């Protein structure tokens, strides 16, 4: 059973940039209602696509360097990486099917 990983300044490169599978990052904060709403969906996606997709969560209040580098202006923001490069990015709370549409064609 896979679970979302906590991404920090220290493990960002090894967990995301060097990931062998696409990585979906959730920029969130504990005080953000929409972030709390999509959190369980991202955990489900992490389990359902285990081995095909890595799901990471970045708390913008704790990891401000990564947030600054990504120019995060609103949360939740989802950023999709493949081969160390950003291939998709979207802000706001999305339904599960829309989140899956961000990465589905990359894991076929």
Could you list the beta-strand ranges (E) of the chain.
Answer: 5-6, 23-28, 54-59, 77-82, 85-91
Q: Is the pLDDT of residue 16 over 60?
A: yes
Asked if 16 contacts 23 with a C-beta cutoff of 8 angstroms, the reply is yes
- Among 35, 45, 53, 78, the one annotated catalytic: 35
The CA distance from 75 to 61, in Å, is 11
- Among 23, 32, 72, 94, the one annotated catalytic: 32
Domains in the chain (CATH in brackets) are: 5-100 (3.40.30.10)
pLDDT tens digits, one per residue of 40-94: 999 999 999 999 999 999 999 999 899 999 999 999 999 999 999 999 999 999 9
Q: Is the pLDDT of residue 32 over 60?
A: yes
Write down the pLDDT at residue 107. 87
- Identify whether 38 is a catalytic site residue: no
- Identify whether 32 is a catalytic site residue: yes
Tell me the average pLDDT across 9-31.
96
Give 45's contacts (C-beta < 8 A, 6+ positions apart).
Answer: 24, 53, 55, 96, 99, 100
Write down the pLDDT at residue 108. 67
């Amino acid at each position: 059973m896979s679970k979302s990983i906590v991404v920090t300044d220290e493990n960002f490169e090894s967990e995301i940039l060097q990931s062998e599978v696409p990585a979906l990052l959730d920029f969130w904060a504990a005080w953000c209602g929409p972030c709390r709403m999509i959190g369980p969906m991202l955990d489900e996606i992490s389990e359902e696509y285990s081995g095909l997709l890595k799901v990471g969560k970045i708390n913008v209040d704790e990891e401000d360097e990564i947030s600054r580098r990504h120019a995060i202006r609103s949360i939740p923001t989802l950023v999709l990486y493949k081969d160390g490069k950003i291939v998709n990015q979207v802000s706001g709370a999305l339904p599960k099917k829309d989140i899956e549409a961000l990465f589905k064609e990359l894991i076929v």
